[in-house]
Structure 1
Amino acid sequence: MNQQRLRGRPAHMPGPTFLSYTPNGRKLISVGSNNAIRVFQTGSDAEPTNIDDCQDSNTAVAAANDFFVTGSEDGTVCKYSLESNSLDGVLVRCTLPIRDVALSPDGKWAAVASDELVVKVVNTDDMSRVLYLRDQARPVKHISFDHSGTFLAVSCSDGCIYVYSLSSEEPKMIRKVDGLIKSLETDVEASSKVIWHPDGRAFAAPTPTREVQIMSPSDWEWQRVFKNGHTADITALAWSPNGGLLATTGADRRLLIWETKTQKIIKTFEGVRATILDMAWHPTENILSYTNNDGELYIHTDIVPSEHTGILQKSLQPAPFIHDPLAEISANGRPPITNGLKNGLVSRHARRGTPDSLDEILGDDGMSASEADGFITDDDGTGPSRKRPNDHLDALDYPLSKRRATHSAWQPTVHPPFQPGSTPWRGNRRYLALNLTGCIWTLSQDDYHNTITVEFYDRSLHRDFHFTDAFKYDKACLTPHGCLFSCPPSPSTDPKSPSATQPAHLYYRPHETWTTRSDFRIPLPGGETATAIALSASYIVVCTSAAYVRIYSLFGVPLRVYRQKATPAVSCAAWRDYVLTIGNGAIGPDGRPALVYSLENVARDEVCQAEDTVALSPGAELASALFSAEGDPCVYDDQGVLAVLQHWRAPGQARWVPVLDTTRLARLASGRKEERYFPVGVAREAFHCIILKGGDRYPYFPRPLLTEFGFCVPVVDRAGKEASGMGDGEEDEEEEAPGGEAQRLEEMFVRQSLLLSLLEDLTGATRATHSQRTELARKGLEVDKALLQLLAAECRDGEERGMKALEIVGLMKDRSGKMVEAAGKVANRFGRDVLGERIRELAERRLVGLDDDEGAG
């Protein structure tokens, strides 16, 4: 193929030259080392419009649809009108040369980088409104707004990127990124400019190794990299309007066009005449324009080869993540498409092909096919416009509120599935399982395999290990006995049938065994994928995409296969012989499906609870479902409430009881802390979690330490330090408010009563051991101690409340009379003679009742 011969336009005198398209693509503005500005009309071969009333040696330009701003070496930033092609005025002056200017997407603010240490952000309508960015210690070379106008990336000559948030009155630096860009002086040709991807979820920057690195500002992890393209420093780079292509050029005089999805070069232009310093894609056409250090402007039409123009014509393309969060099928990513819904957006073609569909006849939204294809037809303003209301969205993703009546049928959004203890990908790492035994995490090595590492807290029992994962397992469970993995279907590695797929399977690996080989794989039937998995000391449980619950023994023997009533499945958990499954149930009053759970004893083939509701906080979503170390089902929601299931062994008697509300912890009382908690486990009357700060939602590496908070049933305004499991040295010591001791004791009584009830259910349903019977007696004594202390607090109160005090004595569990006798002594100590007499009468009635019971026995 013959390479297109380009003829540069000598727009300016020899020297650095820069350009900018207007957002509508109708005009192209170029500036250079002379005192002239050129305004080119897109699609016209006529001579450009010259603006001569300008500064010498302009070094930067940024354009809106009706005006543009320039910066010059004399430190002046000017605003020009595109309607009159004249100077509107001076926006701001600096004492040193301007190096870069950038306009916010709405054109309201202009950011200015100069050889001064401060970056100025000026309002384009009112030049007296100026924001100052002062965190950088050296001059700034480049600046760029993200596509929302909320964030500004500042490329400093010290080799760091400073990212500022402009969402408040005072700008705030939210991140300093070190090691991504090269330390460059502000006047060199090499670039360190940050360019934001059009989808807004990532940005790219040239690295010291002559590559282009992608970074995600959501987790500040390095993502995909465009490499092996340049042999010298990169001098300019630009995304295509839809983000599907990336253009780069360097001091090696090469211009490269990359495909974003694969990071492959699809076109190379060798022997560029002079070093390119700036370039920009046309917003709608297959045109790339660039300027060089010789005063020339090139408008390269049909820059993308015909075999690849389909990429440029696509809708907005995703940023090149190693693991795209929007592509995750677990609960940590995008919810699956169900009933024509995707993230609350209804598919335009959800009903296409059905017998009663009119889409095939009338086209989309009741228009003809030609009308639908030409829905946006007036790019140049010459004819009537039928502007699509949401053209930042894909054609298949119209919001329900904006749809026409024929497509606005409401459908619920189901709760997505999730694997307890797992996290989404951040960069090339993620946790597959985090619990009180240890953790399992995976490292993405390349497109062909991962590396899985299993770590234990108690290394005296088991040693850490890792292995190469060619199946790319996406779910895992860890217990003291073994670990379980599951993977989705994958392409076949058989060269004879490359189009075939390998079915999803389970992989179980015990920690210890007396046989030579004990690990095994269980293939799932074709078309099924594991939605959630669970592992206990007795069974392997998997909920599949076909709405099946499959239960196997620890040796791979299938024991149960049944259809889950509440679908789609959300999660599952297992403990010894018990299996907990959770799914989407009937639509609730809030318009969302209620979560429904079932509890089964596999060994006895008994259903303890069938299709009961998971009671969450109002408006909350389920964050984790697990069994405590004592064997009680627990759930934790995204509003920070931990609840335990009481009386779950008796059919129809189960109820969810909140045992901790993390938003009421004393450490949060001052309001100075903002943190959330990632659930890890429940054991020894405490919630074990990882504290997340700085807006994080999931833990990352290195593995954080675990923190535990003791149970505190929310019966008072705020959990005290005594119940929180840990004090906070930053909290001011305050005297307990009046009635505070009574409230604390009331909470203790409710909590101890709940724990006693859970233990009574356990010992009543199993063959209780000696230690369990001892613990049961101790729990009963703890309840009575709490009541005795509460009685003392009531007697200490100056106001006589004998009836409440007597009721407290009546709640005591001890039937021997010792605790009631102690209660009488407490009343006498505080001079409550009438109360003491009532307590003695109560003791006598209890003794008589006890004697009657013994006689009847």
Structure 2
Amino acid sequence: MKINSKQLRYAHAEGHTDVCYTEDGRHIITCGHDGDVRIWLDIEDDDPNSHCVGESALSVCFKDNRLYVATDNHAVQAYTFPAFDKDGIISRFTAPVTQITSNSKIEALGCTSENMEARICSLEGGAPLLVMSEHKGPVLSIAICPNMKYACTASGDGFLRVWDIDTQKIVKEISCVPKINTFYSAKVLCRMDFEPSDGKYLAYPNNREIIILSSENWSQRMTFTHSTIKCAISQCIFSPCGQYLAGSTIAGQIAVWEVDSGACIGIIEHPTSHNVSAMAWNPKGNGVLVYCDVAGQLGMLVNCYGKDSSKFGEDIETVEREEENDEVLDNLIEHYESDDDNAISLEKIKNETLGLVEKDDSRPASRVSDHVTTSEPIQPPFQPSSTPIHLEHRYMCWNDVGIVRCHTAENGESSIDVEFHDSNLHHGIHLNNYLNHTMASLSPTVLALACPTPSKLVCISLVGSSKEWSISMPDTEEIVCVAATSDIVACATDNRYLRLFTPLGTQRQVVSLAGAPVCVAGRGATLAAAYASGGRLQLAVLAARGALRVRTWPLATGATGSGDAAGARLAWLGCTDAGAPVAADGAGVLRLLHEPAGAWLPIADTAQHRRGVSDSWFIVSVSESEQKVRAILCRGSSFPLTVPKPIVTELPLQVPLCELDTEKSQYEEQLVRWSHTAPDVDVKTARETALKLFALACRSEIEQRALELMELLKDDRLLPLAAKYASRLGRMHLAEKLSNLSETWESDSERLNVAQSSHFQGLDCQETNDVTNSEQDLNASLIIPQKTSKKKTEDNAIKPVPIRSSPGGARNPFRKQAEAAKVVQSPLSLTERTLVEVHAVEDKSENNDPLKPLDGEVFVDWFSRNKSLLEQQNSELTPSELTRHCVRKFKNLQTKTNENGQKRKLDNEVDDPPVTNAPKQSKLSAFAFSKTT
């Protein structure tokens, strides 16, 4: 009798799925990435009992009327059956539990985990019976001998190990497992099995064959394979009688062999070629085998024992009668046109309510399988700030430029409305969606629309006469996501191409991504493309201004230990108003890519602003200048409704520092956030905040922290104020250290610059990041915004006034009286550098008094420069009296300097030789241009 395969059933969400039978063979139990455990009477059961155990469940096992589930809190949780009440925790791990297994002849559980550890645990919990911790990679699977003599584990470090349970030592080690660093990237699970009667054989997969070892001397006894098997076998399992062996490949093929003869009874091809994640024989011994795949589907094979299955089954006639009834039902179903919209599905209602839309992939299976690189479910591509495609009224795009809505009528007709926030930018647009566009992106210069099949990009220019242009993709490509900025239009295709266009339709460049595209966003000439590579999300940042430059960064998300958990999912991608890429995960945490630092910095947690557990925030845009996140509160769902129009809320940016309820942490959070973003905050406000933090440290009697803060800030303007505040509090020791700090910076500046410059030059050769080694960057404040130092540099810049020729001959107005006889260079030939040098010499010669103020010098700078001398001259004065005395002295010195400057100018006028053949002129008119006749 030929092996028959029943139609696949939807069991769980896409991801790793596990299956087992109850000991009486009456129920099928499954668990999956949606966190549910379902109990099926049969594969035809349309209403299985469903129980939620958490965000995800990787493995399930049935033993002695109890269920053991690997939950998302890294524990093996026991439940009663069928009441499904919690019955204690068997064991805890520090990483996700990857498999739980047992058999009918032992009273123990075998558990494996991603923390490179495997355990044999008692059914009642407590200390484990055996801990196998010599693995150097995540443990993928475990099998236990029926007589509890041996155990076998397979690890991601590439080795399969056989353990002697009594001696707790390794007796056999085989290199047959593909090396991986996480369970979620493993295609081959290497699930092995002992012969169920007395454990005399051990079967394990090795590439395209299954090898049988003898448990006596661990020698190879036989090998099972078939010519139609073209890829690696992932797992194998003995039938309850031990006479048949089933194996599954990573392409979904399931083969059954007879152990004694080695003959292959049959091979079944998976309808969608998905990797089989779990298999289980019916304990009744009726030749029924159930399996699950990584797409969350449940399947069943019957008559797996072939023509001799009658001697193993309980009631084959009943099975045949059921098959005849199934054929009748299949004929009825084939001639009946079902309407999926009328079917009531709890999963469909949950998906529509929570926004968890399954990937509807209508492309050929061969094209999809080419892009699947790991067994971990790849996040499907999406558009930022858009709502699910299946909705009749949905948002195709909502950003800081405008809103793009799509409306689908009952007759299938669709239309697109575009609303701009600024009506002065452009008027509203209404389009008939003839091409069934599902993706849209809006910028101040262009509206980009795209449809998957037939794949076509349509763009409407919003500048000038609103020209429209379109371009069709090659036959082998389909657009999966699109982005439009003021300078560029980009679309990512399923061939992992990122195609770049100008806003008016010129093809700019084609970039090949290193993984399946997930999302694309941009602003101005900056474009960010997220893609999945090796089970991880990566971000490619493209600068399209001038020559194209691309940098790749690992995309930081939340905890990835639970696979498809909300934290590990990319929920939104965009760019701030300053052009920095920002990403948000499913848990609501926003992270900004700080390219100079080469790191992702968390800047906001939207989950803290939720009103309910089921609420979420629909992000619209992020503004660095205003330090705000614009988002829409969605009550009980993941996306807003189109009617009524929702209200956009502004959430503050906040770096998640510790103890944010204290005043000290609040000031620290402001300084850290301002230093890594581009806020619209002036220098005065930043200095005031830093000074308040300094004052808190002084009042708390922690002078070392206050001094450390000033050393960290490195702000010359802030240092005198801090020293003055410390002296008023009577902390003269701290004030003295602060006064000497500026001199220390100057003395160490040259040495520090040389050392750091050589260090950064080494980094330039190794990394792609542009690291500047200028003195300003090396000595810049680590907390005060960078524009502080820029303003200071601009204020102190020397800008000499250009010299004009005087009538009647060349004359140097800067000539010193003592050097009048020397030959002076003509003012017409002086360069700006020469003028600066002349000014410097003149100032040095005239400033014989060290207390004399420099040109443009304020009191604070003058007092800091001459503080030690002033204290020596007025040692009898207190700090406050010394300050008042120095203020009066500074004003007097300024007055004398101004008077001397005026007298010197008059002397220059008198001593200068008269100009021949020239009328009497004022000093300013002497520099004017005089036309000769």
Higher strand fraction: Structure 1 or Structure 2? 1
TM range (shorter): 0.3 to 0.5
Larger Rg: 2
What is the TM-score of this pair, normalised by structure 1? 0.45
What is the TM-score of this pair, normalised by structure 2? 0.42
Higher helix fraction: Structure 1 or Structure 2? 2
Select the structure with the greater relative contact order (CA < 8 A; seq sep ≥ 6): 2
